[in-house]
Chain A
Amino acid sequence: EVQLVESGGGLIQPGGSLRLSCAASGFTVSSKYMNWVRQAPGKGLEWVSAIYGGESTYYADSVKGRFTISRDTSKNTLYLQMNNVRADDTAVYYCARISGSYLDRWGQGTLVTVSS
């Protein structure tokens, strides 16, 4: 069974750093394109970042230069390194598996709260 489990969220001060993890089972993260999508409290969905084969990475303008997506094939885990976080980065962060042009599997999400 395909499963994605995020972890690493929490309370962090503005300007701080945090690394989110997404442990996959039922498939290998290295064989699939993967995404991070976030949802601010009470708001809609916002794409954050994607990683393709060959380690090509892509970012929304709102996080470019601050966030880094990566994966560890030995741990079958996807990561999102978040640096210099801001209050508007507060959201539930979901990892999702890409299938063609859509997202066919999602994790349950991990909450990141940026506040002093």
Chain B
Amino acid sequence: DIVLTQSPGTLSLSPGERATLSCRASQSISSSYLAWYQQKPGQAPRLLIYGASSRATGIPDRFSGSGSGTDFTLTITRLEPEDFAVYYCQQYGYSPTWTFGQGTKVEVK
């Protein structure tokens, strides 16, 4: 089974700073099958990025995704107050299965 490892576990930044979140897969995966979600306390996850780099409907362009093979990145160019949350990457497998990373918390420094 493919394992997704996210780093860092916690990212402490100030509003206006750039956030770079990493998601590493234990084996190569198709970029088409990599997604990112945002989850705020007490809320359901929200789809941000699918196909590694396509923004979901209504997602601001300060969010971008990139990567291929085993290494994927979510970048938030300038953190807004509402961006402080936990972010998960997710991979789709053919069984089918959906595998999530353990999450990266972006917190206010």
Q: Interface residues, chain A, CB within 8 Å of chain B? A: 35, 37, 44-47, 50, 52, 58, 60, 94, 99-109
Question: How far is the CB of A60 from the nearest CB of chain B, in Å?
Answer: 7
In Å, the complex CA distance between A52 and B96 comes to: 10
User: B101 contacts which chain A residues (CB < 8 A)?
Assistant: 44
In Å, the complex CA distance between A35 and B100 comes to: 14
Q: A50 is contacted by which of B33, B50, B96, B102 (Cβ under 8 Å)? A: B96
A-B pair number, CB within 8 angstroms: 60
Contact A100 B50 (CB under 8 A): yes
Contact B88 A101 (CB under 8 A): no
Contact A44 B103 (CB under 8 A): yes
Contact A102 B47 (CB under 8 A): yes
* 14 extra A-B contacts, CB within 8 A, seeds A94-B44, A101-B35, A103-B90: A37-B98, A44-B101, A47-B97, A47-B98, A47-B99, A50-B98, A52-B96, A100-B50, A100-B92, A101-B32, A101-B50, A102-B35, A102-B47, A102-B50
Question: How far is the CB of A17 from the nearest CB of chain B, in Å?
Answer: 25
Given A44-B103, A94-B44, A94-B45, A101-B33 contact (CB < 8 Å): yes
Given A102-B35, A102-B50, A102-B90, A45-B95 contact (CB < 8 Å): no
Closest to A4 in B: B44
User: B50 contacts which chain A residues (CB < 8 A)?
Assistant: 99-102, 104
**Contact mask for chain B residues 14-45; partner A; CB cutoff 8 A; 1 contact, 0 none:** 00000000000000000011010100000111
User: B102 contacts which chain A residues (CB < 8 A)?
Assistant: 44
B46 at the interface (CB under 8 A from A): yes
